[in-house]
Structures are given as C-alpha cells and as structure tokens.
Amino acid sequence: MSEPIRLIVGLGNPGPEYETTRHNAGFWLADQLADDLHATFNLEKSFFSWVAKARFEGENVIIAKPITFMNKSGQAAGALMRFYKLKPEQVLVLHDELDLLPGQVKMKKGGGHAGHNGLRDIQSAFGTPDFWRLRLGIGHPRTLGLAQQVVNFVLHTPRNEELREIEDGMNRCRVMMPALLRGDFEQATRQLYAPQKA
C-alpha cells in the first residue's frame, strides 16, 4: 500500500465567467468529490482556497479549489500541504488534459507539467514533481476538428456530447476515490480503467 491521498486540489480559474469552461474540469470533479464525502466548501483566505474538510474512515481529507488564477495554484496547494504536514505523494491534483480525448482519464505520479501552468506552479511550490495527478481529458481543438486556438478552446464550454463524455470520465474517478483514500492505488487503477458497462 502507498501513502493514502489526504489532500485533493482541483484546478480551475475563479469567477462565474470561467465556471463552465473546459479549463475548470478540476473544479467540477472537486465539487463532486466533496458531495460524495458530504463536505461543504468554505472560503479560507489563509489557504487561498475554497476548502472542504471531509472525513473518510476516521481520517481527515481536504479538498481544495484555489481562488488564485490557474498559474498561481501552487500558492494554495503549498500552503495546505505545509499546514497539514503532508508529503507530496499524499496530494492528488485534478486537472484538465488536452492530450486526452473527452472522457479519457489517466492517473500518474510525477512527470512533467506538459505546459500546464497550474501543474508547473504546484511543482515549483512543492519543490518536486512527485505528487499524483488525475488527468481529465477535454480533447484538443485539432483532434476534435475545431479551428479554435488552444487558449480560446480551454476557456470555452464543452459541446454537449463532449460534456457527457467528460462526466462519464469523472464518474469513474468518483468510483475509485475510496481506494485512493485508503492508499490502494492498484485497486484504484483497476477501477479507473475497467471496461465500461453499456
């Protein structure tokens, strides 16, 4: 068994104008996980975040949505990790991923930031890339046959069929979350990649 996940940080941009945009996929999943754990978000300015404190099998689990813009996400993640005396490998970051099709989800520990400003800032705040990432596929304008620039694409709302696929991917993340909170990454991975029942 690995260290169980104790801090979940969803990435997105604050403010109603960004709420439904693809770049906020990490926030969407953070909201769903807080619901699953019956936790409510409260604004905690000292952590630069909306923070939901949950309990899972007697242990504390913190879910956060930074109130800084995406490229300053490390400020919140770093403050929370230090305050709760956690190791980077106990942190799971939820973020949108251009290189995966809508609905595809991949989990990995460590690695580069692939130009994702939120990941880049967290890596620099932690001083290590050794935290877990849940990569939520939103597709890329090229693979989806769109002429939009990437910047424009991530700051727009997904089309209905893409949104359905993204939500399916998030539902698989919700199913495997208890395993992650127990530190059973093997089981979590099996659940995440299990073939979907029609």
Domains of the chain, start order: 5-191 (3.40.50.1470)
Can you give the pLDDT at residue 71?
92
Cα–Cα dist 1/3, whole Å: 7
Can you give the pLDDT at residue 196?
63
Q: Is 69 annotated as a binding residue?
A: yes
Q: Is 171 annotated as a binding residue?
A: no
Can you give the pLDDT at residue 56?
97
Can you give the pLDDT at residue 188?
95
Can you give the pLDDT at residue 86?
97
Has 23 been annotated as catalytic? yes
* pTM of this structure: 0.96
The model's pLDDT over 83-130, given as tens digits with 9 standing for 90+, comes to: 999 999 999 999 999 999 999 999 999 998 888 899 999 999 999 999
Burial readout 9-33 (b: 16 or more C-beta within 10 A, e: otherwise) = bbbbbbeeebeebbbbbbbbbbbbb
Q: Is 24 annotated as a binding residue?
A: no
With vertex at residue 173, the alpha carbon angle to CA 94 and CA 45, rounded to the nearest 5 degrees, is 35
User: Cα–Cα distances in Å, from 77 out to 48, 65, 80, 135, 198?
Assistant: 9, 9, 5, 17, 38
Q: How many residues does the chain have?
A: 198
Can you give the pLDDT at residue 197?
59
Which parts of the chain register pLDDT below 70?
1, 196-198
* Active-site residue, selected from the candidate residues 23, 113, 140, 156: 23
Residue 137 · residue 174 · CB < 8 Å: no
Can you give the pLDDT at residue 198?
47
